[in-house]
Structure 1
Amino acid sequence: MTSFNGEEEVVGLCRDLIRIDTTNAGDNAGPGERAAAEYVAGKLAEVGLEPRLLESDDRRTSVIARIEGTDPGRDALLLHGHLDVVPFNAGDWTHHPLSGEIADGCVWGRGAVDMKDMDAMILAVVRQRLTEGRRPPRDVVLAFTADEEAGGAYGAQWLAEHHGDLFEGCTEAIGEVGGFSVSLDEQRRLYLIEAAEKGIAWMRLTAAGRAGHGSMLNAENAVTELAEAVGRIGRYEWPVRLTPTVSAFFQEAFGIEVEAGDAEATAAKLGPLARMIGATLKNTANPTMLDAGYKANVIPQTATAHVDGRFLPGYEQEFFATIDELLGPNVTREFVHHDIAVETAFEGSLVRAMSEALLAEDPSARAVPYTLSGGTDLKAFSRLGIRGFGFAPLKLPADLDFSGMFHGIDERVPVDSLKFGVRVLDRFLDGC
C-alpha cells in the first residue's frame, strides 16, 4: 500500500473539498453533499477502510467508517465533520470561494474554516496512520455528515435516529469549532476547546388582526402588533447567567473567579474574541426577518417575523417564559427549528489527551473550555449518549480574526495551521 504523509497531503485534500460545491441554503436546496461524500469515501477506501454512504434524501449523503483499535474492549471515539457549507456572494470575495486558492500563506474558500479544514485534517491523519500500520488504541468512528448548516435534519439527526447502531460503543467525540488558538498577549496563547453549546430556537412569530382599508381607523392592525413585539424582543436586555463552562473559561483565561456583574467588562478585554464569548454570557433573541402586507393601502390580516433565539445550558425554561411575556397577548410563536443545549465537564482522560497533544506541538499552549453560541452536529450525537468537544486544532497568527470568518467573506485557513492540526490530531489519537 502506498504510504501517505498527512502534513504533505492535508492542503491538497482541503483544496479539493473546497472546490466541490456543497452549498446548503436550507429547505433541502442546493447541490447536496453526494460528490464530496464520494470523494471522502474514495480516500478512505484507498487505505483499506469500508466506508458506508448513507442518504436521507436525494444527494443528501453522509459517510460513516470505523477503524478498529488495538484494544477492542475500550469505548469508541467519534470523529465527526460536516461536508456542507453556507451560501456566499462570490463578488464580495478576494478569491473565488470555490477556488481553493493558495495566497498569502492560506487556503481560501468557503469551508476553509467551517469546516472542510477539519475534514481534510481527519482524512490526512487517518490515511497516514493506516498506511503506516498504526491503529489507534480504541475504535474510532468517522462521520462526515450532510446538512449541518441547516440543522442536520438530513444529516446527523437522521443518522442518530435511523443508524444509531453505526455509533455502537461511542461514548466520546470531537468535532468542529474548537481547538484553535487565540493570543491574548505575547505570553498567553489560549486554545479554546468547546465544552458546551447554546440551544437553538428559530421561531416564526405571527400577529393576527383585522384586514381593512389603509385609510380607516383600525385598532387591530397586525403589523403594529407584530412590530411592537419584535421591538420588545430585539431591545430586551437579557441578564448575565454564568454557566459552569463560562465560569471555567474565565478562571483558566484570567486566573480569577468572575462575578456576573463583572463578566461583560471582563469579556470586553478579549479583543476580537469578545464577540464570541460575550454571546455566551446570556440568552439571546435577534429578530432576523419580517413579512407583512401586499399593497400600501391595505391593512393585512396577518404579519410574520422570524427570530433567532439561543439559550444557555440550564436556562431554556427561563428563555421561553421571557419570550412569551415579551410577545404579548396577540402574537403567537412556532418553531422553525428547535434543538437542545449541551454541556460537559472539562475534565477526564480525553481532555488530558487534547491538552497534552497541543503542548507537545506548542509549549505555550493553554487549553481552556468555552461555550459555543451556535450549534453543531454534537447536539444530535449527544442523544446517543455521546459526550463531545469541539477540537479542530489550529495554531493561528495572532492578528487573524478567525472567529469572524465563520460564515463570513474571505474565509481562509493558514497552510501552516493545517499542518499543525495534523500533527496534533495524530498525537491526540495515540493518547486518547
Structure 2
Amino acid sequence: MHVSRICSDLVAIRSENPPGRTDGIIEYIRMFLEGLGMRSDVSEDTGGMCNLVSRKPGDRLMFCGHVDVVPALDEGWTHAPFSGTIEDGVVWGRGATDMKGGCAAILAACKAIADTGAEVPAALVFVCDEETGGEHGIQHLLARKEISPCDCLIAEPAPARHPCIGQKGLCRMDIQFQGTPAHGSLYPAVGVSAIMEAVALLDYMKELHEREYPVSDELKEIIARSSAVLGDEFRIAGVSDILKKLTFNPGTINGGEKSNVVAQHCSLELEMRIPWGCSIPDIIAGITAQALNGRISSLETYEPSVTEPGNPLVAITCNEVEKVFGGPVFPIFQWAASDARHLRRAGFSVIEYGPGEISTLHAVNERVTIESLEKASAVYQGVMRAYAGK
C-alpha cells in the first residue's frame, strides 16, 4: 500500500481531541502491523483513548507518533477536513501534516523493511493525546513503564532539511484575581477591579517578552540558524525573536459580574514558552510579586530541552536526510512543544523529523504532499537500517 493511501486512510478515521477517542485509528494501525507480522499491544487509559506499543527486547531505536488531531469545522476547506482526498499530488485533511502524515510514513517504512524479509529494527509507539498534553498517551506509557529510555524519532512535521533537536520550555498557569467590588460609577476612585489586575499583569508580560537571556556560544549559534529557518518557513516579520525571547499567550480570560459593578473576580489562563537561559522559578516569582491580588491555582512547567548535536541519533538522521534531499542539512531548535519534552525528561534521546506543510498546521486546508511523505519514509528506512547495522 502506498504511503499516500495510508495517510488518506488515517485522515479519514476521525480522532479529534477533544474528545480524544482513538480506538478506531489505533485498530487500523494494529491490523496494518499484524499484516506485516508485527505484534503490538493496545492499552486504553479512559473513554476510548487508546495507545499502541510494538517492541522487542533490546530495541535501541523507537519511532513515535500521535494519532489525535485538533478539531476542524467544514467551513473554508477546499476538501472536507476528514475526507483524506488525494488530489494534485497532495493528501488533504485535518492531521495530514500534524501528524498522520508522519504516522503513515512510519508505517510505510516498516512495510518496506518487512517486504525484504528483515525484521523491523525499532519499537513503535502511537499515542492518543499529544494535542492536550499527553496525560493519557506518552505520560501514561511512561508511568506504567511500557516504554524505556532509548533513541527516539518522533515523526512531527519539520523543515525538510532540518530535524529538530530541541524545543523551548513551557509554563502554563491559571491565575485567580480578587478585587474589591464597588459601584462602577466610582471606579477607579473606589474599589479594586480584578479585571484591571489581570490587565496589569499582561502589561508586565510584555516587559518580560522584551528581555533577552544569556546562553552559551554553541546554543546561540543553533538558535540563530534555527531562527533563520523559522523565518523562511513562515515568512513572518519578527519571527526570528521567537526562539530567544519569552513568548506568552493569554489563552482565556473571564471576569466581572456586571457592567456597573467593579469586578470582584477574574480568572486568566496564561501560557508561556520559555527560552534557553531563562529561569522558570524566577519568572514565577516575578509574576507572583506583580500579581499581588492574584493566586496561581494551577501550574505546569517544563524546562527547555535539547538532544546534544553530537548524539549518534542526530548524526544518523541528518545523514539519511542528506541522502534523500541533498543540499545543506543541519539540526535546529523548535518553537512549539511536543511529546519530546516528556521523553527527554524520562531519559530518552529525541529527534523530531516528519513530513508536512508546516504553514498549514492546525489551519484550514491542512495538507501534506505525496513527495514529502515518500521522502520521509525513505529517511525512516535509512535510519532503521543504520541502527540494524550498528
Fold conserved (TM > 0.5)? yes
- Corresponding residue number in structure 2 for 1:149: 131
- Corresponding residue number in structure 2 for 1:391: 353
Asked if the contact 1:95/1:101 (under 8 Å) is kept, the reply is: yes
Match of 2:259, as an amino acid?
Answer: A
- The structure 2 residue matched to 1:237, chosen from 209, 221, 227, is 209
Distance 1:148 1:269 in 2: 25
Percent identity of the aligned residues? 24
Distance 1:306 1:250 in 2: 28
Asked if the contact 2:20/2:68 (under 8 Å) is kept, the reply is: no
Asked if the contact 1:246/1:370 (under 8 Å) is kept, the reply is: no
- Corresponding residue number in structure 2 for 1:228: 200
The Cα of 1:63 is off from its aligned counterpart by 0.5
Distance 1:360 1:196 in 2: 23
Distance 2:32 2:71 in 1: 26
Q: Kindly tell me the number of residue pairs found equivalent between the two proteins.
A: 382
Query: What is the 5 A alignment of 1:87-166?
Result: 87-136=71-120, 139-162=121-144, 164=145, 166=146
Q: SS at 1:54's partner residue?
A: strand
The Cα of 1:388 is off from its aligned counterpart by 0.5
Give the structure with the larger strand fraction.
1
The Cα of 1:271 is off from its aligned counterpart by 6.3
Match of 2:132, as an amino acid?
Answer: A
Query: What is the 5 A alignment of 1:136-285?
Result: 136=120, 139-162=121-144, 164=145, 166-168=146-148, 170-177=149-156, 179-181=158-160, 191-217=161-187, 218-234=190-206, 236-241=208-213, 243=215, 246-249=219-222, 270=232, 272=234, 277-285=240-248
The Cα of 1:200 is off from its aligned counterpart by 1.5
- Corresponding residue number in structure 1 for 2:275: 312
Q: SS at 2:45's partner residue?
A: strand
The Cα of 1:120 is off from its aligned counterpart by 0.4
Distance 1:142 1:231 in 2: 45
Query: What is the 5 A alignment of 1:63-82?
Result: 63-67=52-56, 72=58, 76-82=60-66
Q: SS at 2:162's partner residue?
A: strand
Match of 1:22, as an amino acid?
Answer: S
The Cα of 1:299 is off from its aligned counterpart by 2.7
The Cα of 1:242 is off from its aligned counterpart by 6.0
- 1:60–1:269: structure 2 CA closer, same or farther, 3 Å change rule? closer
Asked if the contact 2:53/2:124 (under 8 Å) is kept, the reply is: yes
The yes-or-no answer on 1:382 pairing with 2:359 is no
Distance 1:17 1:269 in 2: 31
Distance 1:314 1:282 in 2: 10
Q: SS at 2:323's partner residue?
A: helix
Q: Could you list the per-position Cα deviations for residues 96-152 of structure 1 after superposition, in whole angstroms to 9, with x for gaps in the alignment?
A: 11011123321111111110001001111112212321235xx52110001100000
Asked if the contact 1:294/1:300 (under 8 Å) is kept, the reply is: yes
The Cα of 1:336 is off from its aligned counterpart by 5.4
The Cα of 1:340 is off from its aligned counterpart by 3.7
Asked if the contact 1:67/1:135 (under 8 Å) is kept, the reply is: no
The Cα of 1:62 is off from its aligned counterpart by 0.5
Q: SS at 1:173's partner residue?
A: strand
The Cα of 1:93 is off from its aligned counterpart by 1.8
Asked if the contact 1:276/1:373 (under 8 Å) is kept, the reply is: no
Asked if the contact 1:199/1:375 (under 8 Å) is kept, the reply is: yes
Q: SS at 1:120's partner residue?
A: helix
Once the two structures are overlaid, the 10-residue window that deviates more, 86-95 or 51-60, is 86-95
Q: Could you list the per-position Cα deviations for residues 191-239 of structure 1 after superposition, in whole angstroms to 9, with x for gaps in the alignment?
A: 1211111122122122101233333453322122222222332454332
Structure 1: gaps spanning 5 or more residues:
1-7, 182-190, 254-263, 397-401
Asked if the contact 2:60/2:151 (under 8 Å) is kept, the reply is: yes
- Corresponding residue number in structure 1 for 2:334: 372
Distance 2:64 2:50 in 1: 14
Distance 1:242 1:122 in 2: 38
Distance 2:45 2:174 in 1: 26
- 1:279–1:335: structure 2 CA closer, same or farther, 3 Å change rule? farther
- The structure 1 residue matched to 2:42, chosen from 46, 53, 60, is 53
Distance 2:282 2:256 in 1: 33
Q: Could you list the per-position Cα deviations for residues 307-351 of structure 1 after superposition, in whole angstroms to 9, with x for gaps in the alignment?
A: 1111124422343344334x3322232335433431121113222
Match of 2:266, as an amino acid?
Answer: A
Match of 1:310, as an amino acid?
Answer: R
- Corresponding residue number in structure 2 for 1:353: 316
- Corresponding residue number in structure 2 for 1:430: 385
CA RMSD of aligned residues (A): 2.5
- Corresponding residue number in structure 1 for 2:6: 13
Q: SS at 1:219's partner residue?
A: coil
The Cα of 1:250 is off from its aligned counterpart by 5.8
- The structure 2 residue matched to 1:332, chosen from 295, 301, 317, is 295
Distance 2:35 2:205 in 1: 53
Match of 1:284, as an amino acid?
Answer: T
- 1:24–1:337: structure 2 CA closer, same or farther, 3 Å change rule? farther
Distance 1:207 1:144 in 2: 40
Match of 2:263, as an amino acid?
Answer: P
Match of 1:237, as an amino acid?
Answer: H
Match of 1:224, as an amino acid?
Answer: M
